Structure 1
């Protein structure tokens, strides 16, 4: 009897330094499946391109699990609201030269609009967390707020400031010439698959890397899962090599984000990435300190269930 090729899930991580590759893969396996998946999962690990040594095994990534490390200056409690975080980031950007010289910024009006938008998004996220409305699948749903209610030049200024001074890996990928090497790690992870169904899971910047590689890859992906992704941000779309569209080989795409996730900012891919019937946008609760933690996303039932279904169905078919 010919055995059914097993499915494989290929992960690609997001911004920030990470623990060693084997441990990171196991952590993602545990969050998504509840166990180590062995050879059925792979991790496209690019942190070693940006950081000399991985994080110690016992240490969590501050950019992944919470902004506590960068928030230590905020006050005695070591925490701050999203509005306070953005305000501090913009303030630091104005004095980026280190000599007290004010750098060009989006201006007071843009900053006020940004703070108002963030506050509205946080309140909306809290309301959604208490309701059953967590899936955005079609035009009948009420529209979500735009990412930033600002003119395009101000949007771009805010985005570049946030990226350059807070999310340095994202800046290196788009503006620092490191994109090709990072994409190569994901291409390598796609090699040597045995012909079974492929699931791709990308977090944060990893979702952008996965998207750009899959746009040119000749293989088929049964399910693409993106969590905490910035792919809906207009300024990110402006940097993509091709216009936004579902990669040709991707049969289904589920995109999950928490409205309070500062990396995601915009939360609906469906309007821009055609064909729309392949895309499902999910609003989920990620209660980590910065609402961006990958294990919180992967442990969410709406994220886990379609992935587990692919693996369980294939396992059952193999037994038959």
Structure 2
């Protein structure tokens, strides 16, 4: 019996779930080949190794390709939260080794987020966030880190994290946005058999919260470019508290790239408590080519990521 393999995406604009599933599988196969699992490459791409599902919730943010980078002129809760997220990410990043030029840019962006004076007034928070984002995009590699062509697009994508964590935007049935976002993930999980979950960016937050209510088994949870290490802004707003490994998870591997600003280089074992079976996240650093490091496919193509996934699929198949 094939185990289930569930991909959970992160922030970004609208996407075709079937096409994305194929792209993620091919990236995983590339990483598997590099990890010495060439014989499983065709099985992965053709869907023979696992029942692959792509849990898509991007349409729930109501974004269009034209509007996804729009940032309100007026200050709102999401914009303020994005500013807090960036401040914490910058504080964490500044504690890591960095070049003098990189440190100068990071400190300047940090100062822009906290400046007082004439910039105050209506819309001040939005202006600060956009100014800091513009400064950060001058860092080599960061503009392509998340596929951000502009500061507005960068902030627009990060606002999705804020909107999820705000727990608002109830629909006509009274279901808040975060509840509706978790539903596609819930439906993708195997309620009886094993499910291997690979989640990226905001999807790591969504998946972790979803798995607390899952009664099936998760032999492996893989998180890529997770913001959960931002303990004050993200971790403290997740549910349930205290932040803990879901009981359904038997193993958790977390991967982060130093050039991925979203992760801030924080190891999740410092932010997430073990579950009752003593399972805790194990964080591993990966290094890409320095370009477009945040997209999921860059992580999946890493042999250090793909190897354990293939091994988990094989173990679950023969269990």
TM-score by length of 2: 0.63
Q: 2:297 aligns with which of 295, 311, 319?
A: 295
Answering whether residue 3 of structure 2 is matched by residue 10 of structure 1, we say no
- Shift of the 27–91 alpha-carbon distance from structure 1 to 2, 3 Å rule, reads same
Q: 2 CA distance for matches of 1:189 and 1:308?
A: 19
In the TM superposition, residue 51 of structure 1 has moved relative to its aligned partner by 4.0
Work out whether residues 236 and 243 of structure 2, in 8 Å CA contact, stay in contact via their aligned partners in 1.
Answer: no
Work out whether residues 94 and 104 of structure 1, in 8 Å CA contact, stay in contact via their aligned partners in 2.
Answer: no
- Unpaired runs of 5+ residues, structure 1, are 56-60, 63-79, 123-161
- Shift of the 104–294 alpha-carbon distance from structure 1 to 2, 3 Å rule, reads closer
Partner of 2:210: 213
Q: 2 CA distance for matches of 1:181 and 1:300?
A: 32
Q: 2 CA distance for matches of 1:25 and 1:238?
A: 31
Answering whether residue 161 of structure 2 is matched by residue 170 of structure 1, we say yes
Equivalent pairs, count: 238
- Shift of the 194–272 alpha-carbon distance from structure 1 to 2, 3 Å rule, reads closer
Q: 2 CA distance for matches of 1:83 and 1:166?
A: 25
- Shift of the 203–93 alpha-carbon distance from structure 1 to 2, 3 Å rule, reads farther
**Structure 1 residues 30-83: Cα deviation after superposition (integer angstroms, max 9, x where no partner):** 11134242771001101111245579xxxxx99xxxxxxxxxxxxxxxxx9797
- Shift of the 305–19 alpha-carbon distance from structure 1 to 2, 3 Å rule, reads same
Q: 2 CA distance for matches of 1:213 and 1:301?
A: 27
User: Equivalent residue of 1:270, what SS?
Assistant: helix
Partner of 2:193: 196
User: Equivalent residue of 2:307, what SS?
Assistant: helix
Partner of 2:308: 306
Answering whether residue 236 of structure 2 is matched by residue 238 of structure 1, we say yes
Q: 1:37 aligns with which of 40, 47, 54?
A: 47
In the TM superposition, residue 17 of structure 1 has moved relative to its aligned partner by 1.1
- Shift of the 93–294 alpha-carbon distance from structure 1 to 2, 3 Å rule, reads farther
Q: 2 CA distance for matches of 1:239 and 1:164?
A: 19
Partner of 1:223: 220
TM-score by length of 1: 0.63
In the TM superposition, residue 94 of structure 1 has moved relative to its aligned partner by 7.6
Q: 2 CA distance for matches of 1:295 and 1:230?
A: 17
**Structure 1 residues 168-206: Cα deviation after superposition (integer angstroms, max 9, x where no partner):** 21111112542111111211212xx37432100110000
- Shift of the 20–196 alpha-carbon distance from structure 1 to 2, 3 Å rule, reads same
Work out whether residues 196 and 313 of structure 2, in 8 Å CA contact, stay in contact via their aligned partners in 1.
Answer: no
User: Equivalent residue of 2:198, what SS?
Assistant: strand
Q: 2 CA distance for matches of 1:165 and 1:94?
A: 22
Work out whether residues 197 and 222 of structure 1, in 8 Å CA contact, stay in contact via their aligned partners in 2.
Answer: yes
In the TM superposition, residue 102 of structure 1 has moved relative to its aligned partner by 7.0
User: Equivalent residue of 1:188, what SS?
Assistant: helix
Q: 2 CA distance for matches of 1:305 and 1:293?
A: 19
Work out whether residues 256 and 265 of structure 2, in 8 Å CA contact, stay in contact via their aligned partners in 1.
Answer: no
Partner of 2:186: 187
**Aligned-residue RMSD, C-alpha:** 4.0
Work out whether residues 7 and 310 of structure 1, in 8 Å CA contact, stay in contact via their aligned partners in 2.
Answer: no
Q: 2 CA distance for matches of 1:32 and 1:101?
A: 46
Q: 1 CA distance for matches of 2:26 and 2:104?
A: 33
User: Equivalent residue of 1:283, what SS?
Assistant: strand
Partner of 1:261: 260
Q: 2 CA distance for matches of 1:88 and 1:271?
A: 26
